[in-house]
Structure 1
Amino acid sequence: MKAERIYLFFYSISLISANANAFDPVTTTVVVGIGATLGSIYKYFQESCSPKWIAFNATDLEVDLQRKLFGQHIASRIILKAVNGFMNNENPKKPLVLSLHGWTGTGKNFVSKMIADSLYKEGMDSNFVHVFTSELHFPHASQIETYKSQLQQWIKGNVTNCPQSMFIFDEMDKMHPGLIDSIKPYLDYYDKLDGVSYRKAMFIFLSNAGGESIIQTALDFWKAGRGREEIELSHLETALSLSVFNNKKSGLWHTSLIDKNLVDFFVPFLPLEYKHVVQCALAEMEARDLKADKSIADQVARDLIYFPKSERVFSVTGCKTIVSKLDYYV
């Protein structure tokens, strides 16, 4: 990050300044002058919790969802309305809590990045975006009580620093049951807890849990000859929340977040079809400033595994392996 590089450079100069007695008066004056100048530069570029660095752009989010997220008409609609409504509310009653569910490669991480990009000038590189991955940050079941305490302190400290902080919990289906319950008070309808307000923060949970029920609904519609776009949230929401609540591997198993209705939206991500994989390949080419070649996109899409095996309707890995597949053909 630019601010970090400036900081390291400024820190080096400060070390020189600290040893200025080793130089002659002229050199010392020059060093101190450089230090003062760099100090001003550092303060200018250092990210802060202010409108200069944090400003929601609803248009950017809408355009990204329309042009870059394929086959997810339900998720796109929910995300846009939920984030837009929350960010335009000057006095929200609680943090925004989104739980994104679906099979691998369907766009959950991608959407999280879109939300961060629409809110923070530095996007996912912002100091106010915090990503937790279960296997990296909470690997040992025997340490669960320690993790709970550390997680509470981390969230409290960062929201104290910036009320508009974002917390993303990836791989929720691999997270120890009960860990998320430890932050339940921060997601509830409180004005303040120990002098800290969490109402402008955002929490996003990403999980494969519930993917089976989403896939089954999509298959049922396909077998009935009904269009994918006919699937509505009402066809999925109840089954999805129950599936997540009763699944020990969901990370939200029997959690009070569901009991107390603290999750604002359960967002389903549908399995992707062949045509969506082609769109992903073409979008990746465009992102690399390559000529969009439909024949190559088709080759990439044909390489993937689909299910049911006989009909080859839905991609097993969604768009997750597109980048590596495209490397091979390009």
Structure 2
Amino acid sequence: MKDQLMGQPIARNVIHTSIKAHINTKNPAKALVLLLHGSTGTGKNFISKLIVESLYKKGYKSGYVRLYVASRDFMHDDEHSIQEYKARIKKDIEKGTSTCEHATFIFDEVDKPYVQSLLLEIILHYTHFYTERYPIPIDFRKTIFIFLSNTGGKEINRIAFKYHLDSVKREDYKIAEFQKELGNAAHNEEGGLWHASLINRHLVDFFVPFLPLERSHVSTCIQRQLAIVRKHEEYQYKLSDNDIVAKVLDLIEFSPPDAQLYSVSGCKKVAQKLDFILEGIRMKPVQTKTEF
């Protein structure tokens, strides 16, 4: 995370420390629940992938990991479908945890109200605090639940911009201020009531804010993507790498209008924008040296 995740010192520190502590604690009080929230393209999916690849040798192919994407796995909001989703999720969680006590379950795009209602019931069932008085067949205390949400992005961006105007470095942003403001705004944003329920019930261990990405972060994303392209292609281009990066940056929308500081889409559109620029400046393939 330190080498690959850009511009997210709060997320990097909280996620790394909380997961490490959870795994190293012999008898944790409850399952670890993390809610990653912020604008699109800021690294929530990317860091989830890093977590899975760090914990499991087979990454997402491991039998101890489940990734649910709401737009794919929870497409319908009728009662029959919701009951089917509940049954499937419960079966997956119980089967996965019975096989591996450190099973991980990741839920992406949890912004739709009916999806949040579905998942809230699941969290209530599997993440309560353990008590010796009421033993259960399967111990879920070492399980990890990670939820990805775009809600709260506006509040996160507003606080980040305030810090920027005060010349505060990202490494010095206070997570407590983000958590407080997100809690206050929970009732005013679509999907926010779910946050409020989680806060009131003390179900989430950490609300992890993902900060908006600045121009320098997006520039690094472009450079990394360009390096990947050059590794797999044998083309020459009419422009230097620096000029290519500049061209792609020109296609990225930044906000606020008067400051042009934060990428509206984070790094999400970098690959497509880069492909567009490269298509217009591509030359003949590089001539490889041979013995003939």
Superposition TM-score tier, normalisation by shorter sequence = 0.7 to 0.9
With 304-313 and 174-183 compared, the bigger mean Cα shift is at: 174-183
Unaligned residue ranges in structure 2 (runs of 5+): 233-239, 279-292
> Counterparts of 2:192 and 2:231 in 1: how far apart (Å)?
39
Note the C-alpha offset of 1:246: 5.8
> Counterparts of 1:198 and 1:236 in 2: how far apart (Å)?
29
Matches within 5 A, 1:26-175: 65-143=1-79, 144-175=82-113
Aligned counterpart in structure 1 of residue 161 of structure 2, from 208, 219, 237: 219
Aligned counterpart in structure 2 of residue 209 of structure 1, from 119, 139, 151: 151
Question: Is the 8 Å Cα contact of residues 34 and 147 (structure 2) preserved in structure 1?
Answer: yes
> What's the counterpart of residue 206 of structure 2?
265
> Counterparts of 2:16 and 2:260 in 1: how far apart (Å)?
31
> Counterparts of 2:75 and 2:13 in 1: how far apart (Å)?
34
Aligned counterpart in structure 2 of residue 233 of structure 1, from 171, 175, 180: 175
Question: Is the 8 Å Cα contact of residues 180 and 251 (structure 1) preserved in structure 2?
Answer: no
> Counterparts of 2:20 and 2:241 in 1: how far apart (Å)?
35
> What's the counterpart of residue 285 of structure 2?
none
Unaligned residue ranges in structure 1 (runs of 5+): 1-64
> Counterparts of 1:289 and 1:122 in 2: how far apart (Å)?
27
With 244-253 and 203-212 compared, the bigger mean Cα shift is at: 244-253
Aligned counterpart in structure 2 of residue 179 of structure 1, from 118, 135, 138: 118
Question: Is the 8 Å Cα contact of residues 65 and 96 (structure 2) preserved in structure 1?
Answer: no
Q: Which amino acid aligns with 2:146?
A: I
Closer/same/farther in 2, CA of residues 175 and 284 from structure 1, 3 Å limit:
farther
> Counterparts of 1:242 and 1:284 in 2: how far apart (Å)?
38
With 113-122 and 179-188 compared, the bigger mean Cα shift is at: 179-188
> What's the counterpart of residue 251 of structure 2?
303
Question: Is the 8 Å Cα contact of residues 245 and 258 (structure 1) preserved in structure 2?
Answer: no
Query: Given the two structures, how large is their TM-score scaled by the length of structure 2?
Result: 0.83
Aligned counterpart in structure 2 of residue 318 of structure 1, from 243, 247, 266: 266
Note the C-alpha offset of 1:287: 4.0
Question: Is the 8 Å Cα contact of residues 31 and 142 (structure 2) preserved in structure 1?
Answer: yes
> Counterparts of 1:245 and 1:285 in 2: how far apart (Å)?
42
Q: Which amino acid aligns with 1:279?
A: T
> Counterparts of 2:44 and 2:262 in 1: how far apart (Å)?
17
Q: Percent identity?
A: 36
Other structure's SS at 2:250 match? helix
Other structure's SS at 2:185 match? helix
Note the C-alpha offset of 1:86: 1.2
Note the C-alpha offset of 1:300: 1.6
Note the alpha carbon deviations across 1:198-244, whole angstroms, 9 max, x for none: 11111000000111110110122233444444322122111123434
Q: Give the number of the structure with larger relative contact order, counting CA–CA contacts within 8 Å between residues 6 or more apart.
A: 2
Q: Which amino acid aligns with 2:270?
A: I
Closer/same/farther in 2, CA of residues 246 and 86 from structure 1, 3 Å limit:
farther
Question: Is the 8 Å Cα contact of residues 131 and 170 (structure 1) preserved in structure 2?
Answer: yes
**CA-based RMSD:** 2.3
Query: Given the two structures, how large is their TM-score scaled by the length of structure 1?
Result: 0.74
Aligned counterpart in structure 1 of residue 130 of structure 2, from 187, 190, 193: 190
> What's the counterpart of residue 237 of structure 2?
none
> Counterparts of 1:244 and 1:83 in 2: how far apart (Å)?
25
Question: Is the 8 Å Cα contact of residues 94 and 190 (structure 1) preserved in structure 2?
Answer: yes
With 83-92 and 104-113 compared, the bigger mean Cα shift is at: 83-92
